[in-house]
Structure 1
Amino acid sequence: MNTLIAPHSTRITNELGSNTYAYEKGQMLREALFIDDQDIAEFASHWHQLKIDKYMNDGGRYRYRRYSQLIKLRHSNELVLLPHEPYQQSMSVNSLNGGTLRYFEPMTDDFLTSPCLERLLVFLAYCFDDILGEANDWNIKLHPYRILANDEAGQPTPEGLHRDGVTFISSLLIARHNIRGGTTTITDNQCKKLEEITMTDAWDIIIANDAQSMHQVSEITRENVEFDAYRDVLVIAFTKIEDK
């Protein structure tokens, strides 16, 4: 997958480099990646094809998702799809669903080859390289989520305040439909609140240094009972591949 080279100096890089997190509005990100309204709509359509998460130990039926992982090597814009395998987290980072092999459906080919996705991932990789001061090989785990709030409140982070055990973690808002809530709280490692952010517009993004911060998202509820209610996000986990 070949795509544009992201700029080496951005507001995201500067903010994340001086803090433990960064928040950027979707308009800036869309302009930086040359993404128009049609691109946004086509990309968002993939969230209608997510599958229910059968591994929720709280018994919830509100989360739909898929999962895939890629590699981006240093000095290259190519994104290489890794063989599909179950997803696993330790109990230390996910006290609710950790310690279990979870067999999610992979992202579709059309989803993975979307120009929006390719541009976004290369953009972020260059930002993270800039922050670390060198080009890196990256493992990229992709988690598209739809959290429903129809018959019950939806829990974007049912495990509560947590980190993900990666290098950088980001959450890209795809859509908010007929919901209240969904506010992200970011803390330091002592659980001291740093900021509360409610993403409202398509492609608003929150990025965090995972080792230096923790995060959670408040529950979502339905505004109008006559219509479906959901929050769509793409969670992207970048893990630096250490040199052998």
Structure 2
Amino acid sequence: MIQSEEFLLELGQLAEQSVQCLAPSFKALPPSTYLDGAYRLRRFSHFSIQQGQLTRLPAKAFVQSSDINTFQGSVERVYPEIEDDVVETAAFKGMLCSFKEKAGVRDEQSIEVHQMRIIANNDALTEAAPEGVHQDGFQSLAVVVIERSNIKGGEIQVHTAKDSAPFISHTFDKGEFVVLNDQRFWHSATGLEATCDEDAYMDVFVLTA
């Protein structure tokens, strides 16, 4: 087993059938009352995986210190839970198990999952990562892009330091993902812009442990 302190970074791809299973659930994401609520819809849950068994843990607020999140740090944010119909799919369990294995997440560690739709418009650039180049304050992190629709931009970027140029900058789509050591690397995303007047968005799962 890879130990989390030794793990660096890995790129990967969900199976096509997993993407097709998970993608429709983003249509049911609710609006948010927080600072990013005008352009980001979200659900949030956390889980444990022990002996291959996925267990939903009791609901809790999501909070990051202002030292880590300069955009809305030290704010207790309460989001609706990820729907049971999603959690109970083999696709969702497989995504979490893959993250656990690749990053060496231990059984006693919980895995937090954010399900987000980032909405773009053609009047102004939508900041996919309003914090800029940042770390999330965990050991391991994964960004899984399920779908992009009618947008340009939104490249996921990985940096060796907060003030360094990205050494990875890729337009992830259709289940492509990056798993990284959040204590060794920094990450960001470029802004999104709608390419037409139709629905324009990027659907993403962010997993942390």
- Aligned partners of 2:70, 2:202: CA distance in 1, in Å? 23
Distance 1:221 1:107, change over 3 A: same
8 A Cα contact 2:133 2:186, kept in partner: yes
Query: Structure 2 residue aligned with 1:81, among 35, 56, 64?
Result: 56
Distance 1:49 1:60, change over 3 A: closer
Q: Indicate yes or no: 2:38 matched with 1:61.
A: yes
Q: How does 1:145-224 map to 2 (within 5 A)?
A: 145-150=116-121, 152-189=124-161, 191-224=163-196
Q: TM-score under structure 1 normalisation? A: 0.77
Tell me which protein shows more helix as a share of its residues. 1
Residues 85-136 of structure 1 deviation map (CA, whole Å, 9 limit, x = unaligned) = 111111111011110111111111111112101011112212222xx8xx54
Q: Indicate yes or no: 2:1 matched with 1:22.
A: no
8 A Cα contact 2:160 2:167, kept in partner: no
- Aligned partners of 1:17, 1:211: CA distance in 2, in Å? 11
Structure 1 unpaired stretches of 5+? 1-7, 239-244
Structure 2 unpaired stretches of 5+? none
8 A Cα contact 2:158 2:166, kept in partner: yes
Give the Å deviation of 1:152.
4.0
Residues 159-216 of structure 1 deviation map (CA, whole Å, 9 limit, x = unaligned) = 1111011111010011000001011221113532342322343110011100001111
Distance 1:200 1:126, change over 3 A: closer
Counterpart of 1:72? 49
Counterpart of 2:208? 237
Distance 1:231 1:93, change over 3 A: same
Q: Percent of aligned pairs with the same residue?
A: 24
Q: Which moved more, 1:60-69 or 1:152-161?
A: 152-161
- Aligned partners of 1:162, 1:204: CA distance in 2, in Å? 21
Partner amino acid, structure 1, of 2:24: S
Q: Indicate yes or no: 2:99 matched with 1:124.
A: yes
Partner amino acid, structure 2, of 1:113: E
Counterpart of 1:52? 31
Counterpart of 2:76? 101
Q: Secondary structure at the match of 1:211?
A: coil
CA RMSD of aligned residues (A): 2.1
Query: Structure 2 residue aligned with 1:110, among 66, 85, 92?
Result: 85
Counterpart of 1:4? none
- Aligned partners of 2:80, 2:22: CA distance in 1, in Å? 18
After the TM superposition, which segments of 4 or more aligned residues of structure 1 sit over 6 Å from their partners? none
Partner amino acid, structure 2, of 1:128: A
- Aligned partners of 2:184, 2:160: CA distance in 1, in Å? 6
Q: TM-score under structure 2 normalisation? A: 0.90
Give the Å deviation of 1:220.
0.2
Q: Number of matched residues?
A: 206
